[in-house]
Amino acid sequence: MADNKVYRASTTAPVNIAVVKYWGKRDPKLNLPTNSSISVTLSQADLRTLTTASCSASFDGDSLTLNGQASDISGARTQACFRELRARRAALEAADSSLPKLSTLPLKIVSENNFPTAAGLASSAAGFAALVRAIANLYELTDSPSELSLIARQGSGSACRSLFGGYVAWRMGDKADGTDSKADLISEASHWPNMRALILVVNAAKKDVPSTSGMQQTVATSGLFQQRISQVVPANMILMEEAIRKKDFPQFAEVTMRESNSFHACAADTYPPIFYMNDASRAAIRAVEAINAQAGKTIAAYTYDAGPNCVIYFLEEDEATVVGAFHRFLSGVSGWKASAAEAKSSVELPENIAGILKDGVGRVIQTGVGEGPEKTDEFLIAEDGQTVQR
């Protein structure tokens, strides 16, 4: 066919930060987890991936460009996503012969984050969610977000949760083929819209001692890990869903903090041990404890992913108290919103904690709960199939 038409679709997808943590795979090939998890989707105004998917007979094979860099697509994870999406498109084409045979055309994907990679935020969740959602849009698939999450999961486990906004669960499932290991919505962002997040981006460079091992080393060697997946997480899943449904911040906060502790404890119990947090990360924990103590109630919760950055959840009504406590001595770093300068906090953090954080925090990100992937008319690939230069 001499048709060199370029078909295009664009989407954005959000970052999510888990409050019940994913750590450990029972099937590394299919990205099937050892436990269920829950996350909060963060606002795309502050953190998002924009991805354009296109296909055309004129393209010279499949390609993927991330933040201006050609990316290797030969890996099993990316290939699994392409294969699954093409199979679904092919099924539509088989049922309706009037549809163009997009499933047979080379794919060209271009993707960009609106936040610096240097921030050390795991961008693979947003990246794979955007990739799957963009191709699904291109192929005009009718699959639900939950069905698409089965595909995104195979790209990056936590990506499955970025197909929804708000408060999202990834149910581990129990089938060997993984067809029941997918994300579903606990509550829309609008159910509890006043959830906020302050991210303290910690300078990892100089003080960092790199970890070479990952979650499968924990599964293989930690003597405490079985207790986490068989007892701790199932109990926390119930408590966290309840906290979200009831909008009970103290319960949400306690489970969030305990879950972060439990995950990092299992990392530290790995042999050899895995450490993601450094002295600045630990000072941020003491800061959150001090804020709650001085406030006389739990108004802030810390959580750490596989890195030193601290994500602090709080409610909009406590923004001045929480943000102001950090802005007081961190006003020199970038990332503050204009309102932060006016945030008057009754909390004064102990000098040693403030000192360690002043040394260790390189920038902040102020954001909050947000929506899931959104179709957009902003394209990173032009109508003629060329990558847009920006």
* 269 touches a second copy (CB under 8 A): yes
Are 80 and 132 spatial neighbours (Cβ–Cβ below 8 Å)?
A: no
Query: What are the angstrom distances between the C-alpha of 215 and each of 33, 157, 266?
Result: 10, 12, 9
349: left (phi over 0), alpha (psi -120 to 50) or beta: beta
Among 70, 95, 98, 206, binds a second copy (CB under 8 A): 206
User: Of 19, 29, 76, nearest to 244 (Cα)?
Assistant: 19
| DSSP calls for 293-323 | HHHTS--EEEE--SSS-EEEEEEGGGHHHHH
CB of 92 to a second copy, least distance (A): 47
| Other Cβ atoms within 10 Å of 50 Cβ, number | 22
Among 66, 126, 219, 266, binds a second copy (CB under 8 A): 266
* 232 touches a second copy (CB under 8 A): yes
CB of 263 to a second copy, least distance (A): 9
* 213 touches a second copy (CB under 8 A): no
CB of 309 to a second copy, least distance (A): 16
Q: How far apart are CA 149 and CA 225, in angstroms?
A: 26
Among 258, 328, 337, 358, binds a second copy (CB under 8 A): 258
User: Of 304, 312, 199, nearest to 261 (Cα)?
Assistant: 304
Enter the tokens of residue 60. Answer: 């010279």
The residue among 269 and 374 lying less far from a second copy, judged by its C-beta, is 269
* 356 touches a second copy (CB under 8 A): yes
Give, as ranges, the residues between 289 and 348 that touch a second copy (CB under 8 A): 289
Enter the tokens of residue 339. Answer: 């309102």
* 256 touches a second copy (CB under 8 A): no
The residue among 200 and 266 lying less far from a second copy, judged by its C-beta, is 266
* 250 touches a second copy (CB under 8 A): no
Among 5, 286, 337, 358, binds a second copy (CB under 8 A): 286
Query: What residue ranges bind a second copy (CB under 8 A)?
Result: 206-209, 222-224, 226-228, 231-232, 235, 254, 257-258, 261-262, 264-266, 268-273, 275, 278-279, 282-283, 285-286, 289, 352-353, 356
